[in-house]
Structure 1
Amino acid sequence: MQLEATSIDIGTSRPLVLLNTIDAEELGAHPLDRVLLSWAGETMTGIVKRTDELVEPGTVGVTEPLHHVHGAVGVTLAGTPPSVRCVRKKLDDVELERAELERIVRDIHEHRLSDVELSAFVSAVYTNGLSLAETKHLTEAMGDIGQRLQWDRPVVADKHSIGGVAGNCVTPIMVAIVTAAGVTMPKTSSRAVTSPAGTADVMEVLSNVEFSIAEIERIVEETNGCLVWGGGVDLSPVDDEIIRAENPLSIDPDGLLMASVLSKKQSAGSSHVVIDIPYGEGAKVESLVAARGLADDFRRVGDYLEMDVSCAITHGTDPIGRGVGPVLEARDVLAVLEGDGPESLRLKSLRLAEMLLEHCDVDAAATEILESGRALEQFRSIVAAQGGDPDVESTDLEPGEESTTVRVDRAGVTSRVDNRTLSDLARRAGAPRDSGAGLVVHRTVGDEVEPGDRLYTIHAETESKLEEAVSFAEGLEPVRVRSKADALVERR
């Protein structure tokens, strides 16, 4: 069938093809079938959507991944990719071979799987899990696709947190300490997906974060490190597609989590990696036993990839810093580097930095580097190399002007600080899109409080978003206060 191609402005990463129902009936194409597009000696596969109105008969609508298709196009039915059979095997709890996982990864990258098929793969892994062998092969396959950073240095340090803890912005502090000690640490980080701020969002308050590979190499050559957005350099791009399928389901199965993290580290050229695994009520990993099992598997997959992976199992029941949201977390980071700031953020940053330096076999004291001001000086150098103001201070950073403070209405003890609810509340206030939005947590678990004491302050950039956050918080207890007796029972 010959049709005339027309571009359709629909935001999607999938190569969707819109066929008028009349043409689809003549072709025998059903929704989610695949068709082969042929034009000017080129071919491309698209996934069918049928419509009565968006495109006229005789026309084929192509979405953004196919916008280069133009003019007269031959449209024929195409078969189902072989990787779909592999997905069905995983749904049946059959262990997949290396070649089958490579086929799935390749087809995800080339957009041959529909959203339904990709979701089926993610759901199959969530339900049936991945064996250690499958995780190793999947990680390797994901790391082999996309760009790679390469360094002519024997030791390249890196760090990752599996997330789930509010205000956990230790990475900029760690990078400053580790690079000041002479270790190369080109840190590529993510933007927030479901949290109020990713490391890239926090750094964007202070400097640019989007750079090409050549620009990253220049920054690292100048400063020994960087803090940039990984999405700008196409490292392990299949990981981004898998995360896109996981988010609506709010799932992150261990096998895919490990493949996601370590394929990114492999692509970034990392040789020594510390993985932060917070556990506890409200964190991604709720028990110490589960955290230890995940740490063991991380190390095994790291050994397979010839990467030195060490894991820090940390408490994840409280926020780490006081601020939650890009500006507020950036303020905490600078305050710690300046010699002040939240003690919990300072201590965790030092612990992880010491751990990473030890595994890199570097004889340097993280505490001395921080307290001497060397870390602050190094951080300012990185900010300057990334186009930011090296003289910025924590007191220069102001959150959104619209704010309200929630106070204690009875005497007692703070018995719980709910990370998940705090993160949801900060997002309702506008974070991370509004960099000044978020909240400041004034209490930690175990604090004694009196009526009128502050629990948390919500910041927003607009009055409407502040009202939305306040409405969301009604009936919730992001910071729970109980009588001393009740709090003791809870802790037991």
Structure 2
Amino acid sequence: MQLDAVTIDIGTTRPLVLLHSVDAAEMGAHPLDRVRIEDGTESMTGIVKRTDELVDRGTIGVTEPLRHVRGTVDVTLAGQPRSVRYVRKKLDDVELDADELETIVRDVHENRLSDVELGAYVSAIYANGLSLEETEHLTQAMTEVGQQLTWKGPVVADKHSIGGVAGDSVTPIVVSIVAETGLTMPKTSSRAVTSPAGTADVMEVFCDVEFSIDEIEAIVAETNGCLVWGGGVDLSPVDDEIIRAENPLSIDPPGQLIASVLSKKRSAGSTHVVIDVPYGEGAKVESLVDARKLADDVKRVGDHLDVDVTCAITHGTAPTGRGVGPVLEARDVLAVLEGDGPEPLRLKSIRLAEMLLDHCGVDASAADVLDSGRALERFRRIVAAQNGDSEVESDDLEPGEETTTVRADRSGIATRIDNRQLSDVARRAGAPLDARAGLVIHREAGEAVVAGDSLYTIHAEAAAKLEEANALADRLEPIRVRSKADALVERR
């Protein structure tokens, strides 16, 4: 069928085409079928959406990825990508081989899967998991797609956290310490997946995080390190597409998580990596047994990729910092670098930096580098190199002005601070898209509380979002207060 191509912006990164329902019926094209589009010079594939209003009969609407299609084109039905069959296999809990996983990765990269099919892939991995062999094959395939960074030195340091702990913004502090010792640490980070703030979201409070590879190389040459968004430089770009599918479901299945982390590290040119695996009630990994298994799997996949990985298994039962959300976590980061800030955040940053320095064979004290102010100066140099204000101080960072303080309705002891619930409330308040949204935690687990004491304060940029966060907080119990007698029973 010959149709006239017109460009239609419907805000999608997928190669969708819009067919009038009469033309689609005549062609036998159903929603999510594929059509082949030929303009005399090349052949392209589009995913069908049917409409009665957005395009006229005799016309095919092409979206942003196909915007170069012009004039009269030949449109015929095309078959499904092979990867759809492999997604169905995984939904049936059948183990996939290397070629099948490579095909899925290639089709994701080339935008051949619809959002529904990509969601089915993520759901299949979440429901049925990945074997270690599948994880190795998937990680390798994801690494080979997209750009890769290379560095001159034999040792390139890196650090990553599995996540699940509120206010756990240790990465900017660790990078500042490690880079100050002379090691190369080009840190590429993700934006938030299931949390109120990823490292890239926190750093964007201070400076730009999207750079080209040439710009990143210049920043690292000047400062020994960087803190940039990995998605801006096409490192393991399939990971970014999968994260986009995971976001609405707030899921991050272990096998895919390992592939995500290590494909990014390998693509970034990292040789020595410390992976933080927090565990505990409310964290992403809840038991010590699961944390150890995940750590073992990460190290084995790292060996497969020739990346030297060591894991830190840390307690994740309570938030690391006081702030949750981009601006509030940025404030904690800068306060620690300035010599103040939450003590758990300071201690964890020192521990992970010490592990990474030792792993890289560097004889230096992370605590000395931090306490001397040298890490702060290195951080300011990195911020300046990334087009930020190097003179900013922690007190300059103001959260959203719409606030509510949640108070204890009884006297007793704060027996539990729930990472997941705090993160849910912060996200409902608008974080991470609203950078100044989030919450500030006023209590620690085990602390005595008097009725009326403040437990945490919610910050939002809009009154409507504050109201939504308040409503969620009323249904949850992010900070659990129990009488002393009940607290003793809980500890038993």
TM-score (norm 2): 0.97
Aligned counterpart, 2:44: 44
Offset at residue 461 of structure 1 (A) = 2.3
Is residue 162 of structure 1 aligned with residue 130 of structure 2? no
Aligned counterpart, 1:23: 23
Aligned counterpart, 1:388: 388
Secondary structure, aligned partner of 2:247: helix
Is residue 254 of structure 1 aligned with residue 245 of structure 2? no
Query: Could you give the per-residue CA deviations for residues 439-473 of structure 1, whole angstroms, max 9, x where no partner exists?
Result: 11011110011123221111222333323322322
Aligned counterpart, 1:109: 109
Query: Could you give the per-residue CA deviations for residues 249-297 of structure 1, whole angstroms, max 9, x where no partner exists?
Result: 3332211111111001111111111111111111111111001000000
Offset at residue 433 of structure 1 (A) = 2.2
Secondary structure, aligned partner of 1:77: strand
Secondary structure, aligned partner of 1:74: strand
Aligned counterpart, 2:54: 54
Aligned counterpart, 1:80: 80
Aligned counterpart, 1:136: 136
CA spacing shift, 1:100–1:467, aligned 2, 3 Å: closer
Offset at residue 239 of structure 1 (A) = 0.9
Offset at residue 434 of structure 1 (A) = 2.1
Instruction: Using the TM superposition, name which of 340-349 and 385-394 deviates more.
Output: 385-394
Amino acid at match of 1:313: I
Secondary structure, aligned partner of 2:370: helix
Aligned counterpart, 1:464: 464
Amino acid at match of 1:337: L
Secondary structure, aligned partner of 1:321: coil
Query: Matched residues in 2 for 1:452 and 1:101: separation?
Result: 55
Aligned counterpart, 1:243: 243
Amino acid at match of 1:400: G
Query: Matched residues in 2 for 1:437 and 1:291: separation?
Result: 31
Offset at residue 129 of structure 1 (A) = 2.2
Aligned counterpart, 2:437: 437
Secondary structure, aligned partner of 2:404: strand
TM-score (norm 1): 0.97
Check conservation: 2:193, 2:246, Cα contact below 8 A.
no
Amino acid at match of 1:186: P
Aligned counterpart, 1:284: 284
Instruction: Using the TM superposition, name which of 242-251 and 21-30 deviates more.
Output: 242-251
After superposition, where does 1:42-441 map in structure 2 within 5 Å? 42-441=42-441
Offset at residue 91 of structure 1 (A) = 2.9
Query: Could you give the per-residue CA deviations for residues 290-339 of structure 1, whole angstroms, max 9, x where no partner exists?
Result: 01000000000000100011111111111100001111111110111111
Check conservation: 2:193, 2:250, Cα contact below 8 A.
no
Secondary structure, aligned partner of 2:298: helix
Secondary structure, aligned partner of 1:246: helix
Secondary structure, aligned partner of 2:163: coil
Amino acid at match of 2:318: D
Query: Matched residues in 2 for 1:85 and 1:409: separation?
Result: 55
State the number of aligned residues.
492
Could you tell me which runs of 5 or more consecutive residues in structure 2 were left unpaired when the two chains were aligned.
none
Secondary structure, aligned partner of 1:112: coil
Amino acid at match of 1:181: T
Offset at residue 44 of structure 1 (A) = 0.7
Instruction: Using the TM superposition, name which of 9-18 and 260-269 deviates more.
Output: 9-18
Amino acid at match of 1:258: I
Offset at residue 65 of structure 1 (A) = 1.2
Check conservation: 2:398, 2:436, Cα contact below 8 A.
yes
Amino acid at match of 2:209: V
Amino acid at match of 2:164: G
- % of aligned pairs identical? 76
Query: Matched residues in 2 for 1:178 and 1:334: separation?
Result: 16
Offset at residue 144 of structure 1 (A) = 0.5
Aligned counterpart, 2:484: 484
Amino acid at match of 1:171: T
Offset at residue 341 of structure 1 (A) = 0.6
Instruction: Using the TM superposition, name which of 402-411 and 350-359 deviates more.
Output: 402-411
Secondary structure, aligned partner of 2:23: helix
Query: Matched residues in 1 for 2:170 and 2:153: separation?
Result: 25
Amino acid at match of 1:152: K
CA RMSD of aligned residues (A): 1.4
CA spacing shift, 1:428–1:73, aligned 2, 3 Å: same
Secondary structure, aligned partner of 2:258: helix
Amino acid at match of 1:206: F
Query: Matched residues in 1 for 2:21 and 2:404: separation?
Result: 54
Query: Could you give the per-residue CA deviations for residues 31-72 of structure 1, whole angstroms, max 9, x where no partner exists?
Result: 111100111401110111111121111000111111111111
Query: Matched residues in 1 for 2:96 and 2:461: separation?
Result: 49
Offset at residue 92 of structure 1 (A) = 3.3
Aligned counterpart, 2:474: 474
Query: Matched residues in 1 for 2:404 and 2:151: separation?
Result: 48
Offset at residue 96 of structure 1 (A) = 2.0
Query: Matched residues in 2 for 1:121 and 1:464: separation?
Result: 35
Amino acid at match of 2:274: V
Secondary structure, aligned partner of 2:246: helix
Query: Matched residues in 1 for 2:258 and 2:475: separation?
Result: 36
Query: Matched residues in 1 for 2:131 and 2:141: separation?
Result: 15
